[in-house]
Amino acid sequence: MRWRLALDSAWQRKIEEVIALSKACCGLTSEDDGSPVSWGVRVSSRLQARTERAYDELAAIEDAIARIDDEKYGMCESCHQSMSDEWLANQPEVRYCPDCSLRRSLR
């Protein structure tokens, strides 16, 4: 239950970020009513990259929530060993244990 609450909270924060970044990419602000914006609006590559990264982070959180539902949360997807609470606390959406994460980063 602890991890589910942490992930639900992380999901809520991330979805708010995704919405704000998506609006920024479209040239909308929170005051806009959704009417069409000027075609001349250009989205900076930095803003687009931030938006894509936020979507990826949101997907990782959703995957972690699905692993809780499937009773696979906290197990490394590579070596299938249980991950420590300390490791999960730093990144609740993490999929790999420290050893497997390091091996994957060295590829």
- The answer to whether position 34 is within a domain reads no
Listed residue (97, 91, 75) closest to 7, CA to CA: 91
- The answer to whether position 38 is within a domain reads no
Chain-centre distance for alpha carbon 83? 19
How many domains would you assign to the chain?
1
List the beta bridge partners of residue 75.
82
Predicted confidence at residue 42, as pLDDT, reads 53
CATH number at residue 71: 1.20.120.910
Residue numbers of the domain that contains 51 = 2-29+43-105
- The answer to whether position 51 is within a domain reads yes
Q: What pLDDT tens digit does each residue of the chain (107 aa) get?
A: 788 999 999 999 999 999 999 888 777 544 544 555 544 445 577 888 899 999 999 999 999 999 999 999 999 999 999 999 999 998 899 999 999 999 999 98
| 3-state secondary structure at position 78 | coil
- The answer to whether position 75 is within a domain reads yes
Pseudo-torsion of CA 34, 37, 43, 48, nearest 10°? Answer: 20
- The answer to whether position 35 is within a domain reads no
